[in-house]
Structure 1
Amino acid sequence: MNATKIRASVVAGCRGLGLAVSTVVVSGLYFCLTLLSLALIVIGVGVFTTPPVLQAVRVWANRRRALAGDWSDVRIAVPYRPLPADPRTGIIGQVELVTHLLKDPATWRDFQWLFLDMIAGFLTAVFPALLLWYPLEAVVLACGLWLVFRNDPYWYAFIPVDSLGSALLAVLLGAVILAVGLVFNPVLLRAHFRFCQFFLAPTKEATLAQRVEKLTETRHDALDTSAAELRRIERDLHDGAQARLVAMGMNLGTIEALIEKDPAQAKKLLGMARASSAEALTELRDLVRGIHPPVLAERGLGDAVRALALRLPLATEVEVDLPGRADAPVESAAYFAISEVLTNAVKHSGADRIWIDLHGTQGMLRASVTDNGRGGARVGAGSGLSGVERRLGTFDGVLAVSSPAGGPTMVTMEIPCQAFASC
């Protein structure tokens, strides 16, 4: 057994001890407070005490969810229904808030978890700690403590310790227990978090409801985005190419009238018409590229992103590791999401270098854009990243932003892609 595994087992035992204490102290305290607050609803006091108590319980449950992911890689989603966006104030608002919280099934699952966390949660958490620390008791007995119990044996597990020989047998048993702990402690700690996951994760019904709500929201976003895109195309055509074509038609009409009377002026207007046609063609090409770049359709996402990087005013490195072509809608969503992130980086980051990493594996298309700018980027109302998040949400994609003050900023995007499912 290498040093890394031994260290992980020792750490798991220490963490189990801390969890065991918290299950009894913190979970027990919150269970009693919740029970008392719910009982006080009958006389009206609980209407005011229940919301802060339940919010504290949710913070405690979220803390356990976070530890499950950090310590044992057990991911537990947050199941709570969103609170009212514009709650009323006063007693009526408090009654509505309490009603909303009590109607949430996750509230009652948290309550069940608090009670069982004091019992089953304590046992599953303390076991790794016992396997790690219980052998120390055998060592202490063998070091001379057995002399105290020579007339009245002390039971170490199933061994009565009343002599040096029995104390050494206890040390041998303790070594076996320690060996078991060093091998299985991480697994036992994970078992504790699996127990928590059973109560703290969303139920199938809640997951389905969240899924329906998410799909409804993303559908509305997709419709709004499509409508906005159509308005943009209409505006660009009206103000750009259409206006130039109208002007070109008027010039041609004038040329037709002047071609015999004033050939010099007609020739001048003809040159202006030729310039207008070239500008209109350029604008139409830019418009088509904005709808769906030809390089994306012809050569795929990797080459399209490389072409996009070449047009940036900043030094840009692109690394592509794609096992093949993704579905066209996925490629389009990824391309325009990367384009929007790059635009934000050029305009707002103050960076002088950008790195783009694009790869696909295990049914997921992943793209990250990193810049060495000032940082401070975030997803919020009015932010360009909010639009990227909505675009990805249409495909069940996710957006993660890491942008501490002073930089660097890393924007990571993931989109499920069946084309890479076997990779």
Structure 2
Amino acid sequence: MPSSTGEGGSGSRPEGRPGIRATVVRAANEAVAALGELVGGLGTALLALVVLIWSAVTAVTSLVGVGLLMAPALLRALHALAGRERHRLGRRGPEVFAPDPAPTRLRLALVDPTTRRELRWLARHASLGLLLGLSGVLLPVLAARDVTFPLYWRLLPEDATSTSLGIGVAQTWADALAAALLGLGWTAIILGLTPAMARLQARPGRILLAAGPDTDLSLRVAELTATRAAALDAHAIELRRIERSLHDGTQNRLVTVAVLLGAARRMVARDPSGADELLERAQSAAEQALSELRSVARGILPPVLADRGLAGALTGLAASCPVPCRIDVEAPERCAASVEATAYFVVAETLTNIAKHSGARQAGVTVRSRGGRLFLDITDDGRGGADEAGGSGLTGIRNRIAAHDGTLELASPPGGPTTLKVELPCGL
């Protein structure tokens, strides 16, 4: 009996250790993520401080008229900074949906609820958000300094302080160990408080930068309705393209195979050589049908995206393009499969248009991934004059992009060059 009790007691301790270890690992991961959020918030808080000082200077100088000239630029900077903070918060948690576009004219901005909410956020983020962000930078430095103090304290001058707070002088090992204990206290603060500090830093942005109860959401509803309609149109166009490819290509090839096989079966007894010729033609038609079927399958979702990623897929497109094309992709993180497929088809359709209509001698595709967004720039040195109404496939490209709530900008003056800029969210 005692031996069994001892076994049971010794077996209960290992069961408790993974739970403690998992708790510590989880707390450490949450603390590291929170420190990243605090440091990220420090960047926008420093910019918020600059804009806040700029706002104060503009308000004071408006009394003599000079500030009125700076007001439009200030409002654009405020709205851009608020948008950047929305993107940052969206990467770290639930997306913060922007309200209606805020005005940049001073008279309209004074009565605009979105601008007033952004100004309130600016003041809070430039003060409390800045202090919390600085804490996210200083706490790890203080903890590392004090925890490791016993390793190097003998190398310091005699009058060097023993703690990061500037209190005490290290004269004995007891002083060094006391500094290490203070470092453990900093570590405990990091593990225990930084997640709450990160939430406190983000709270003003999540409350004030989202669409408020006094914001008219009718434009956003109309935009989402148009986006849904564009997605349905793009889906219907894609289904018609697949059906047309199968009906006009693969189906006709298979009908030809069936006819040739039937004729060969009837001729095999009386004209073996003629039947053999028909079988060769049937085999050729079957191979062509298989090739077309593979082409249709690749058009639905290119397997090269899964095998080689977006960079490899676009390199393959450039290699098969008749116009020399330079590919420059800098996207360290993979986007959603539907987003990568959309980017692939946009580049493929654009390169096809360049080869057919532009008369360009060279083209370039640049892809960048920043802040949860995928940016595509496609350029060529052709004759320009691209127009969506000209049946060049740009309408279909725009519908594909709108289905992901992305944007498209086309600049194609007569004489060229042509530039197509696309922005897509990575996470849809």
Measure how far apart 1:330 and its partner are: 0.8
- Whole-Å Cα distance in 2 between the matches of residues 247 and 334 of structure 1? 37
- Whole-Å Cα distance in 1 between the matches of residues 66 and 387 of structure 2? 34
CA contact (8 A) 1:379 1:401 kept: no
Q: Which residue of 2 aligns with 1:113?
A: 108
For residue 414 of structure 1, what is the amino acid of its counterpart? E
SS of 1:267's partner is helix
Q: After superposition, where does 1:14-413 map in structure 2 within 5 Å?
A: 68-69=75-76, 72=77, 74-75=79-80, 113=108, 206=215, 208-379=217-388, 382=391, 384-413=393-422
Measure how far apart 1:22 and its partner are: 9.4
- Whole-Å Cα distance in 1 between the matches of residues 355 and 411 of structure 2? 17
SS of 1:352's partner is coil
CA contact (8 A) 1:65 1:76 kept: no
For residue 211 of structure 1, what is the amino acid of its counterpart? R
Q: Which runs of 5+ in 1 are unaligned?
A: 1-8, 27-62, 78-104, 118-197
- Whole-Å Cα distance in 2 between the matches of residues 329 and 321 of structure 1? 19
| CA pair 231-403 structure 1, distance change in 2 beyond 3 A | closer
- Percent identity reads 41
Runs of 4+, deviation exceeding 6 Å: 16-20, 108-112, 114-117, 201-204
For residue 352 of structure 1, what is the amino acid of its counterpart? R
For residue 241 of structure 1, what is the amino acid of its counterpart? T
Measure how far apart 1:378 and its partner are: 4.6
CA offsets 1:75-111 (integer angstroms, 9 cap, x no match): 499xxxxxxxxxxxxxxxxxxxxxxxxxxx99x9989
Measure how far apart 1:380 and its partner are: 5.2
CA contact (8 A) 2:72 2:105 kept: no
For residue 342 of structure 1, what is the amino acid of its counterpart? L
CA contact (8 A) 1:353 1:371 kept: yes
CA contact (8 A) 1:245 1:276 kept: yes
CA contact (8 A) 2:75 2:104 kept: no
| CA pair 244-373 structure 1, distance change in 2 beyond 3 A | same
Measure how far apart 1:247 and its partner are: 1.3
Measure how far apart 1:299 and its partner are: 1.8
SS of 2:311's partner is helix
SS of 1:399's partner is strand
| CA pair 115-22 structure 1, distance change in 2 beyond 3 A | farther
CA offsets 1:238-297 (integer angstroms, 9 cap, x no match): 111111111111111111111111011101111110110111011111111111111112
- Whole-Å Cα distance in 2 between the matches of residues 111 and 305 of structure 1? 45
- Whole-Å Cα distance in 1 between the matches of residues 284 and 315 of structure 2? 31
For residue 263 of structure 1, what is the amino acid of its counterpart? P
Q: Which residue of 1 aligns with 2:195?
A: none
For residue 311 of structure 2, what is the amino acid of its counterpart? G
| CA pair 113-275 structure 1, distance change in 2 beyond 3 A | closer
SS of 1:401's partner is strand
SS of 1:300's partner is helix
